[in-house]
Amino acid sequence: MSLRDWFASKRNTSTKLDVSAMNSRLTDEEICKLWTQCYSCHQNIPSKELENNLMVCMHCGYHFRIGAYKRIMQLCDDFQEMDENLFPADPLNFTDTEPYLKRQADAHQKTGLNEAVITGIGRIGEERLGLAVMDFTYLGGSMGSVVGEKITRMIERALAERLPVVIFSSSGGARMQEGTFSLMQMVKTGAALAQLHEAGLLYISVLTEPTFGGVTASYGTLGDVNIAEEGARVGFAGRRVIEQTIRQKLPADFQTANYLLNYGQVDMVLARQEMAPILATLIRLHRQSSGLAPISLA
């Protein structure tokens, strides 16, 4: 299957515009899909142009949130997904206002995703890497057993093939409906990264909007290089919890990418356009200094 076909099979078909139907009168809905209003500067942008600009507003630089498959499409020249057959379970038999199983089914229906992370082996330019990209649209990007398992398996594969690892985080934190199972995924992934570290292999963490809780307190901040995407809010505790605890209003830029940069918590803040070239360069530099040969692209 060609790369284009693979991406086409993953694209949500409801956003595809039927060209022949454009000859007849467009419905209001279709007209709206031709334009997108920027959430930040409120200008109307042609949707196609926004798409070509990596979902970044050309007027103000606002970075729209994007899903995992879109991110992979923007980033990689090639990508082989792994563990697509992992699905969540219900270890606690959990029901709050709705059963957890129903939330899973609804999330799958709404997003087409099986879970909140896509993992696999990718290629950016000449560099091969283990890659995980989280998706906030699936249950708030929450980390449960499947997220932990998929990320761990990807790291173990990178270890075996001596590849660098890049993880794009986007998450509200650990998934409550799996209780302490979710909590332990922080240890599982942390321990896998410990092995990667001891093998001298590079791990780059990219923190995207928003990343909080158990993800920040595990693989999110364990990179040899930690990168925050422009506009991302990243922290451990949520803003509201902190405000309630200290009984003070927080500064408007609290926990934003630049705030983190000023407080020494990230190595750099990158605009989306810079991601692919800088990641490729970082991977190359560390690979070359380690004396690892480039992987043959057979």
Partner 1 sequence: MSDKILPLEFEKPIMAMEEKIEELMRLSQDSHIDFTAEIAKLRSQAEEVRNKLYHRLTPSQKLQVARHPQRPNLLETVKMLSPNTWIELRGDRSGTDDRAIIGGIIELSSGPVMVVGTQKGRGMKENLTYNFGMANPEGYRKALRLFYHAEKFKMPVLTLVDTPGAYPGIAGEQHGIGQAIAFNIREMARLRVPIISVVTGEGASGGALGIGVANRIYMLEHALYTVISPEGCASILWRSAEFASRAAEALRITAQDLLEFGIVDGVIPEPQGGAHYDPTLNAQRILETVEQAISELKAIPNDQLPADRYAKFRKIGAYQEKNAAALSS
Q: Which residues bind partner 1 (CB under 8 A)?
A: 84-92, 94-97, 145-146, 148-149, 152, 174, 176, 178-188, 190-195, 197-198, 213-214, 216-222, 226, 235-237, 241-242, 245-246, 248, 250, 254-255, 263-265
Taking alpha carbons only, the member of 161, 65, 66, 169 closest to residue 122 is 161
Q: Are 221 and 205 in contact (CB under 8 A)?
A: yes
Q: Are 173 and 215 in contact (CB under 8 A)?
A: yes
| CB-nearer residue toward partner 1: 54 or 118 | 118
Cα 226–Cα 129–Cα 224 angle in degrees, nearest 5: 25
The helix or strand, by DSSP H or E, that contains position 181, with its residue range, turns out to be helix 179-198
> Is the torsion defined by CA of 44, 45, 47, 53 positive or negative?
negative
Beta-sheet pairing, 44-46 with 35-37: antiparallel
| CB-nearer residue toward partner 1: 97 or 109 | 97
> Cα dist. 86→1, 51, 82, 102 in Å?
22, 30, 9, 17
CB of 98 to partner 1, least distance (A): 9
| CB-nearer residue toward partner 1: 36 or 171 | 171
CB of 135 to partner 1, least distance (A): 17
Q: Report how far residue 54's alpha carbon sits from residue 272's, in angstroms, rounded to the nearest whole number.
A: 7
| CB-nearer residue toward partner 1: 26 or 237 | 237
CB of 80 to partner 1, least distance (A): 16
CB of 27 to partner 1, least distance (A): 33
| CB-nearer residue toward partner 1: 36 or 185 | 185
CB of 177 to partner 1, least distance (A): 8
CB of 199 to partner 1, least distance (A): 12
| CB-nearer residue toward partner 1: 37 or 95 | 95
